Homo-oligomer: A and B are copies of this chain.
Amino acid sequence: MARVLTPRAEDFPRWYQDLIAKAKLADNGPVRGTMVIRPAGYAIWERMQAEMDTRIKAAGAENAYFPLFIPENYLKREAEHVEGFSPELAVVTHGGGKQLAEPVVVRPTSETVIGEFMAKWVDSYRDLPLLLNQWANVVRWELRPRIFLRTSEFLWQEGHTAHATREDARAYARRILHEAYEDLMVNVLGIPVLVGLKTSRERFAGAIATYTCEGMTGDGKALQLGTSHELGQNFAKAFDITYSSAEGGREHAWTTSWGTSTRMLGGLIMCHGDDNGLRVPPRLAPVQAYVMVVKEGEGVGEAATKLRDALRDAGVRVALDDRTDTPFGRRAVDAELRGYPVRVEVGPRDLAAGNAVVVRRVDGTKAQTPVADVVGAVLAALDSDQQALHDEALAFRESHTTAVNTLAEAIEAAATGWARVPWSAVGAEGEAEANGQGVTVRCLLRADGSVPDTEDEPDLVAILARSY
């Protein structure tokens, strides 16, 4: 096959850009840092949304929608928050043909405006927990944009909840972390994320604890794919979110927030892509089976249509490609780029022998398959290849993670992969030193792999890496 993409080993960021352009997933927008998500990319995002939305609703949160525009003064009420976001704000100064009395900012995230309304809606302990989520666009001005990973505008879900106690808030932030985020990433996206606690240096602006899901990219870097924050009473105090307790007192609520975004599309590409294009895990794929008419011939179109219908009846998300006015080779290259998990190629020669060819994207294997067995073969491939992609990514992560004992070794190991190092060998000072060399502490874990409550627990492990 002719070279379609820059090989990953040659220039990984260039490969990534090539893939996005050639698979027609997205384009750069006309305003610097913005993106256009094309139908092939957006269809994957819609599947991510549907799977995530189901999990968020199962955790009891309800969807709502808050305004794009936030009064500038809202952001200033929580000191760390304004400091964290000020450099990234887009500011609207004119509306309806006039200069505005007070400029408004385009939301970089909605903690502040949602805090304002939580204060109105929460009165009694009976109103808690208040569990909200919204699907929205947000804007953070980016000086070094990269499609899907860092764009000035991106799409995301942001959850915001208020609770009566710190314990309840913590439990909910962790429930979303594991039951929604980790579950989706591992079991649908097939990305074996590490789930841990961010250091205080890496925490969200205004949080008392930030939990994260970190995925490894094909060049051994780290990518933060979702975070869940305990906000303590910081926003409740800034926005006066209080409730009367069962005992009759007036208390500040404890809030959380949590988000995942179109960045997951970038993570998917960087985790599962190969030199021929994207590989989409079957459970996620908007098109799981791609039935192709190789070229016209006796009964070919009819056989392909029947297979399409049979696959659809078997519950497979399927598309038919009968564009025989475009050369088969070019269409096959496009199908590889798009990463459809299974191709079913129907051509006159094979069909004369009663066969179609079933091609598995995960490893490129092609199997002559009796037409009557195609549905079974596709179902088996979809089932096995979900696991195969996950396991391949896990093996890659393990082979690119080095256990070391000192900061210097960790920084060295981070040149090509992840380093596992005792947090006691790093600490806040070591973290600053690593940052100076382009390496960050991605998360902290307990020795048994579970998520710590604070960075002060003994015997924690730090994961150090370069990151996107």
Contacts and interface: CB of A to CB of B under 8 A. Distances in A.
Contacts of A155: 65
A139 B116 CA distance: 22
Residue from A45, A92, A103 with most neighbouring chain B CB atoms (10 Å): A92
A88 B92 contact: no
Contact of A95 (B46, B67, B70, B91): B91
A132 B24 CA distance: 14
A236 interface: no
Nearest to A26: B65
A36 interface: yes
Interface stretch (A27-35, A201-209, A220-228, A354-362): A27-35
Contacts of A90: 69, 92, 94-96
A37 to B, nearest CB: 4
Given A87-B97, A94-B93, A67 B36 contact: yes
A468 interface: no
Given A70-B30, A71-B31, A137-B137, A64 B38 contact: yes
A43 interface: yes
A11 interface: no
Contact of A86 (B27, B29, B97): B97
Contact of A67 (B30, B66, B120, B143): B30
Residue from A37, A86, A88, A136 with most neighbouring chain B CB atoms (10 Å): A37
Residue from A27, A67, A91, A139 with most neighbouring chain B CB atoms (10 Å): A67
Contacts of A137: 68, 136-137
A152 interface: yes
A87 B97 CA distance: 5
Nearest to A37: B65
A47 to B, nearest CB: 11
A126 interface: yes
B95 A92 contact: no
A334 B290 CA distance: 50
Nearest to A131: B39
Interface in A1-58: 27, 29-31, 34-39, 42-43, 45-46
Given A63-B42, A95-B152, A69 B37 contact: no
Given A38-B64, A95-B141, 12 more contacts: A31-B69, A34-B69, A35-B67, A36-B64, A36-B65, A42-B64, A45-B65, A68-B68, A68-B153, A87-B97, A91-B92, A96-B142
Interface of A: 27, 29-31, 34-39, 42-43, 45-46, 62-71, 74, 86-97, 103-104, 106, 113, 116-117, 120, 126, 132, 136-137, 139, 141-143, 152-153, 155, 325
7 contacts: A30-B70, A30-B113, A31-B67, A31-B104, A38-B64, A68-B137, A89-B97
